[in-house]
Amino acid sequence: MSSYHHHRRSEFNFWDKGALLCVRAPYVTVLTKNISVMTVYCDRCDRYFPHYGALAQHEAGVERTLALRRLRDRLHDHCDEHFDDGGELAEHMDDAHFYCSSCERVFKNEQGLHEHCRQSSVHHYCTPCRRLFTSANNLNAHMNSALHKPRTITCPGRGCGQSFINGPSLAAHLEAGSCASGANRQSLNRYIRAQDTRNVITDPARLIAAAESDNTRYVATGRSWNGTAYECYLCHGKFRTLPGLNQHLASPRHEEQTYICRGPGCSRRFQTLSALWAHVDSEQCGVARFGAVKRAMDELSDRLQRTRIAN
């Protein structure tokens, strides 16, 4: 007897969010050795899939391959390469032709493709770098990186003089303990607690515990070996090497989340100033438009550059 001895299909509307279209997909009950397994079926390829997410991924791949084949047919006068699958064809299109995969268009030369991306309102494109990004957030992160931002913020540490593109980068430098002045995360935290008297960016309920943790240093020894790995006794994380475990213990992973975002409806907490500062600058929750926080961060940036911080 065949292992698939009964099929029952019913049609339903399947919404493919990736393609933004509604397709008809059969919902199939497959009885295999008296066990009912719910699957979905692709009529075009005569294939079964365990769930609708798998079918959607399959459909997207099929549509991509069909689009590439249509494009290949248009290019038959210019290129006679043949490929075994859509992946090889896609790689060839990107490497050998001036091809915009989003628009399914081929251009005569690199300049034509560049002008297309530069003038398009739907592409996330950096014109100076000639780089295309998958999302607006990725493009914004690139534009706010050291590639496009001048290093206008100077480290206040004695004997340092390094420059940075923004406040979070300066804070991360000090927290890392790599500053020539000897400043580190603990000394920066003490400075911030002394400056933030109105608790705009710090949580007063956690300041006492945070102050105590500044004076606590965890060091692991060979006794941390549990037979298979070096284990952190605070969080039970496993590490392959003892230096790796000690690096983990020296990080802010187990410190109090002293810093808090006062944005409307946010209240996210952070263990480091650099993390909070990056969150504020990202404008994820709109806190940068909140007057008190904006002033506090501006004042902090100004004071940091004028104050000599040392350990």
Burial of 122 per CB tally in 10 Å (0-12, 13-18, 19+) = exposed
pLDDT of residue 140: 85
Of residues 59 and 76, more confidence is placed in 59
In the chain, where the domains are located: 1-96, 103-148, 153-203+257-306
- pLDDT single digits (tens) 107-161: 878 888 889 988 988 899 999 998 889 888 889 888 888 888 888 888 888 888 8
CA pseudo-torsion sign 176, 180, 182, 188: negative
Residues of the chain with pLDDT > 70: what percent?
71
The HSE-up count of residue 29 (CA atoms within 13 Å, CB side) is 8
Helix extents (H) in the chain: 52-74, 86-96, 110-119, 136-143, 167-175, 185-195, 207-214, 242-250, 273-282, 291-306
The DSSP 8-state label assigned to residue 252 in this structure reads G
What's the pTM? 0.56
Question: Per-residue pLDDT tens for 28-70?
Answer: 444 444 444 456 777 777 777 777 778 778 777 777 667 666 6
Torsion sign (Cα): 83, 88, 94, 99: positive
* Three-state secondary-structure class, residue 2: coil
Rounded (5°) CA angle 151-157-161: 40
210-223 pLDDT per residue, tens: 555 666 677 888 88
Flag whether pLDDT at 196 surpasses 80.
Answer: yes
pLDDT on residue 228: 92
pLDDT exceeds cutoff 60 at 93: yes
